[in-house]
Structure 1
Amino acid sequence: MSVLVLNTGSSTVKYELIDVETGERQAKGLVERIGEEEGLLTHDNGSVKDRFADHEAALKAILQVLGDISPEAVGHRVVHGGERFREAVVVDEEVIAAVERLAPLAPLHNPVNVAGIRVAQRAFPGVPQVAVFDTAFHHTLPPHASTYAVPREWQVRRFGFHGTSCAYVAERASAMLGRGLSQTNLIVLHLGNGASATAIRAGRSADTSMGLTPMEGLVMGTRSGDVDPGLAGYLARTRGIDADEALTRDSGLLALAGVSDMRAVRQRADDGDQDARLAREVYCHRIRKYVGAYYAVLGRVDAIVFTGGVGEHDSGVRAMSMAGLDRLGITLDPARNDEPSTGERAVSAPDGEVAVLVIPTDEEWEIARQTVTAIRNMPAR
């Protein structure tokens, strides 16, 4: 089955056409800077600069470069599935309405995810559309991990995100370790512009750092991660600041170092910028703290898994984050860690009790796989 995967973000659309039976990637690309004066569409090995006024314009441009390619299904990344969506589902009007109702929980993502679905429906009438939810993997969180200590009538809980990435790398990690997923305990560190830590027990999410929204947990590109809940009221009283906006768009690495991209932070730190050095130290300290906490949650850890752009490519972040964890059986091999490889690999010491793995995530493949499963599980009509 040929599946067109659409990963529609707040200012980007990433797409890939995948033959799920053979694994062949038939086409892939990315539209960036949607809504800006000069956007960029990169398709396979070529690129086109243009203005993409909105997501519909970007998706129409993607369909144009795909030409006569006709997928048998379209799989959509949808960020927030709330309580209702615990697995991928074939899209109908009821599903779309439910995703729209969840928009307050992911205001930057769910509305554009719906826009992607609408455009694809018009472009491929009669072709099944499937929604694959970032939050679905974490529906196994036990009540003691998903419950906030707040009044029940607020009807809020912890959901978690990056679930599609966690599902993919957990499968790959268990294969690298040579054991079944049901026998494997992992701590997955998805480190990119958004960042999260997840404790996985026997293939199921046991705890995760993001909560009701993607703001909680680790330090991120522009998001603060964990802060004192009293900060919002303090900022409102003393500075008239909208904390939701400030903690989402103006915080994280951007607030500490002046730039949100870890590559730029690293360069500034290497050049002697003290703010950038502190930013990396804060970032890695938070990761190390979560690793220790999730080790306690799981009781036994078989591997720490680094994934995402920063996790896969920044050996310094990996080294700083794992420093001082030798007593827990977590020891990096400096030579392996610094090796400029881009594939799946172990970077732990050969005699380390806990493996430290680097696994490039492949959310598009996981979305395609779940899309096919959802279609095959549709009840017969």
Structure 2
Amino acid sequence: MADDAILVINAGSSSLKFALFDRSAEPARIAGGKVERIGRGACLRASRAGEAATEIPLAPDAAQVEALDAALAWLDANANGAKPGVVGHRVVHGGMDFIAPARIDDDVLERLGRLDPLAPLHQPYNLAAIRRLRERHPGLAQVACFDTAFHAHWPDRARRFALPRALHDAGVRRYGFHGLSYEYLSGEVARIAPAARRCVFAHLGSGASVCAVRDGISLDCSLGFTALDGLPMGTRCGPLDPGVPFHLLRTTAMDAAAIERMLYHDSGLAGVSGIGADMRDLLASAAPASREAVDLFVYHCARQVASMAVALGGLDTLVFAGGIGENAAPVRAAICALLALLGVRLDASANARGDAEIGAADGAVRVLVVPTDEEIVIARACNGIRASGRDNGSEPGTPEVDS
């Protein structure tokens, strides 16, 4: 069979997701899966579309390269002869330069590597998968799709820190993340709720953020310069007074590397609870520290939704997505209870069932649960970049919105 498929890769530090799509105008999923617990007894779980999943344990010390090789081997054996002609990658940080999908060459890869310090949990692993595929299949076209690109047209007041202008000009600015998810959710809401104009999307999972989208355009996001900001997450701290790291440097034996590791790996839900980062475990636990972690998460989510309503000039639609947003009904209920002053009201039964629409009929804000799909966004981008011939990741932007 000709190389007529699109392979999508989302490579992280401890997991790797993959999906194979056909090359139709609206790509259809052929097969896919994920490898979890990389470096800690990884297991591949994969299936063809519409079929039951197969689980294949990997070597106990399997790293990301071995996880990618296992995924490719499974596709070779199980994709009914479909072969990728292009590979699309989720790349978390595009910096100032990349505001659209980019065909990957040596120059693009080198420029993206400079951004590793801004997303150390993601960027190095995103790029490692690209490099591995270039080694194995040097002639295979690869495309980078950026989590920051959806936020490329923010107004200056959302983009800028109150720091000296030279730092802003050098790239110390707010970028926003989870843009591939927000791009998908924006399209889905336009389809299912076409009257929605002022939307707040809450992408809540082990990584979590909230985004303000008006008429399909991102105006602000809780994530900023790095993937640490905005909300407490599974292991990341969320909002933090910048004086705290200085205090720790002065008063403890921690150096900058130790503080960075703590903020990325030992904080968030795991750090507060002392139990772990999984919201399911925290909700099931009777330990006071677990309740404190959940309450902290809920409080900051509600605060961020309210702040995004200010960015939008009002709120007519609230959308929950991500592993927590799609599945944790108690968390949705607690967040919405704090947002009653904005007219948010839940239908308790619909929320408990996990319906697609969970807002009360007499509420002023429509409340939806929309499963996100970053992989289809990447597959569409691969189709689009091939059709348009764009390959540098830059394009004329939507005008900035100031009102």
Do Structure 1 and Structure 2 share a fold, with TM-score over 0.5?
A: yes
- The match for 1:48 among 45, 56, 72 is 56
For residue 379 of structure 1, report the CA deviation from its aligned partner: 5.5
Q: Does 1:334 align with 2:348?
A: yes
* One-letter identity of the residue aligned with 1:274: P
| 1:1-381 pair list within 5 angstroms | 2-21=5-24, 23-36=27-40, 38-44=41-47, 45-51=53-59, 53-67=62-76, 68-154=81-167, 155=170, 156-179=172-195, 184-241=197-254, 242-258=258-274, 259-268=276-285, 272-341=286-355, 345-378=356-389
Q: Deviations over 1:46-65 (max 9, x none)?
A: 11112253222211111111
The number of equivalent residue pairs is 370
Q: Is the 8 A contact 1:18 1:26 kept in 2?
A: yes
Q: TM-score, normalised by structure 1?
A: 0.93
5+ residue gaps, structure 1:
none
Question: Is 73-82 or 147-156 further displaced after alignment?
Answer: 147-156
Alignment RMSD (CA, Å): 1.6
Paired residue secondary structure (1:164): helix
Distance in 1 separating the partners of 2:314 and 2:134: 46
For residue 20 of structure 1, report the CA deviation from its aligned partner: 4.8
Paired residue secondary structure (1:346): coil
* One-letter identity of the residue aligned with 1:47: E
Question: Is 239-248 or 90-99 further displaced after alignment?
Answer: 239-248
Q: Is the 8 A contact 2:65 2:129 kept in 1?
A: yes
Distance in 1 separating the partners of 2:113 and 2:295: 39
Cα 1:328/1:46, change in 2 over 3 Å? same
* One-letter identity of the residue aligned with 2:194: G
Paired residue secondary structure (1:158): coil
Q: Deviations over 1:67-106 (max 9, x none)?
A: 1531121101111100000011111111111111111111
Distance in 1 separating the partners of 2:201 and 2:297: 16
Distance in 1 separating the partners of 2:198 and 2:298: 22
* One-letter identity of the residue aligned with 2:7: L
For residue 285 of structure 1, report the CA deviation from its aligned partner: 0.5
Cα 1:379/1:281, change in 2 over 3 Å? closer
Distance in 2 separating the partners of 1:74 and 1:287: 35
Paired residue secondary structure (1:323): helix
For residue 125 of structure 1, report the CA deviation from its aligned partner: 4.0
Cα 1:307/1:319, change in 2 over 3 Å? same
For residue 319 of structure 1, report the CA deviation from its aligned partner: 0.6
Q: TM-score, normalised by structure 2?
A: 0.88
Q: Is the 8 A contact 1:73 1:127 kept in 2?
A: yes
Q: Is the 8 A contact 1:315 1:337 kept in 2?
A: yes
Distance in 1 separating the partners of 2:341 and 2:93: 38
Distance in 1 separating the partners of 2:333 and 2:9: 34
- The equivalent residue for 2:394 is none
Q: Is the 8 A contact 1:193 1:260 kept in 2?
A: yes
Moved over 6 A (4+): none
- The equivalent residue for 2:50 is none
